[in-house]
Structure 1
Amino acid sequence: MAAKKILMLVGDYVEDYEVMVPFQMLLMVGHTVHAVCPGKKAGDTVRTAIHDFEGDQTYSEKPGHNFGINFDFDAVDPAAYDALVIPGGRAPEYIRLNDRVIEITKHFAAAKKPIAAVCHGQQVLVAADVVAGKTCMAYPAVKPDILRAGGAYHEVNATYSNACTDGNLVTAPAWPAHPEWMKQFLVLLGSKIEA
């Protein structure tokens, strides 16, 4: 397996597990991951939020950890990357307002490079107008956005643990889907995991 260079788009109040776990998993299998945030440089941090499912009508939210940015957002050349990861949480709703975030996302879609988005990360995909004709999963509150953007919505199972691949796009509803979401993304990347 050739190691891939992966870009991860984050912002303050990104979901803790949805940024930390994929970042660490992708590093673990030998890929390079550059986590970037608009307005931040390598060495800066973003705050995270922990979203949990505790029987309420929607997820609960608690303070998470600080997550370290390891590359400068302004130095990103999307052509230098093999794949894109967009974690969820509250960050996607406002980083999608950044024109450069949209430009970067459109590059990956147009080049048909692997894109993995989870939970509310699909808000960035919708804003970049790249879900039309695609089947996606997301946190159920994002379903109307996907449908209005011309995408099809793949229903979420009761444990939020399923994921969906459509061409170069791998999506999932929330962090309980990490095993399936990351497995499908690793397949797109051509990664081989040996015991």
Structure 2
Amino acid sequence: MKKVLFLTGDFTEDYETMVPFQMLELIGYTVHAVCPDKKKGDTVKTAIHDFEGDQTYTEKPGHLFKLNYSFDDVKVNDYDGLVIPGGRAPEYLRLNKKVLEIVNHFFAENKPVAAICHGIQILTTAGVVKGRKLTAYPAVGPEVTTAGGEFQDIPVDKAFVDGNLVTSPAWPAHAAFIREFMKIMGSKIEL
């Protein structure tokens, strides 16, 4: 059974956390949802970001998301893939040295990585996007470019793949995002 590390934190985007987490479990992966300084059974608060015709997304309180594994127990060699949801959590998660070490491990080992929306901020800070093509929420695009990546301006419901990396602008792309992540994980669903 394949194992996925799911890196999240307080005020992660609700849909980008709950939906992919459940989809990955549905596929049959073992998914360990973790947050620095939190243990198995702790919760993180989520925020709902919605697209309602304003110049940017709106933000509303979300739910409590229960972590099923302790961050301090993570052994990166045990995982086949990494998923990073967006929201506001990546702003501060990227300041955590161990988070950056985890991300660098996945890229150094060419393991599958999926990041959505603002989750790409962790990748830019980790220094792993130089020379890569990827997408993100449009407001994160300048960070991608500054970090040496080639920002891809794609529709909000699409995903972009560059080798072991799957990225997407936001939660409307969940179907494409998870489908492409499954492909680079070497999995497929037969109907």
| TM-score bracket, shorter-length normalisation | over 0.9
Equivalent-residue separation in structure 1 for 2:179 and 2:4 (angstroms): 15
Note the C-alpha offset of 1:51: 0.3
State the secondary structure of the residue aligned to 1:171: strand
Query: 5 Å matches for 1:16-165?
Result: 16-157=14-155, 160-165=156-161
Over aligned residues, Cα RMSD in angstroms? Answer: 0.6
Equivalent-residue separation in structure 2 for 1:151 and 1:189 (angstroms): 23
Identity, % of aligned positions: 61
Note the C-alpha offset of 1:156: 2.3
State the secondary structure of the residue aligned to 1:54: coil
Q: Which 4+ residue blocks in structure 1 deviate beyond 3 angstroms?
A: none
For the Cα contact (< 8 Å) 1:87–1:117, is it kept in 2? yes
Equivalent-residue separation in structure 1 for 2:178 and 2:26 (angstroms): 12
User: Structure 1: where are the runs of 5+ without partners?
Assistant: none
Instruction: Write the letter of the residue equivalent to 2:166.
Output: V
Give CA deviations for 1:141-180 in whole Å, capped at 9, x if unaligned.
00000001110011122xx101100000000000001111
Instruction: Write the letter of the residue equivalent to 2:80.
Output: D
Instruction: Write the letter of the residue equivalent to 1:147.
Output: T
Instruction: Write the letter of the residue equivalent to 1:185.
Output: F
For the Cα contact (< 8 Å) 1:8–1:85, is it kept in 2? yes
Note the C-alpha offset of 1:191: 1.2
User: Structure 2: where are the runs of 5+ without partners?
Assistant: none
Query: 5 Å matches for 1:4-23?
Result: 4-23=2-21
After TM superposition, the score normalised by the length of structure 1 is 0.97
Give CA deviations for 1:16-73 in whole Å, capped at 9, x if unaligned.
0001011000100100000000000000000000000000000000000100101110
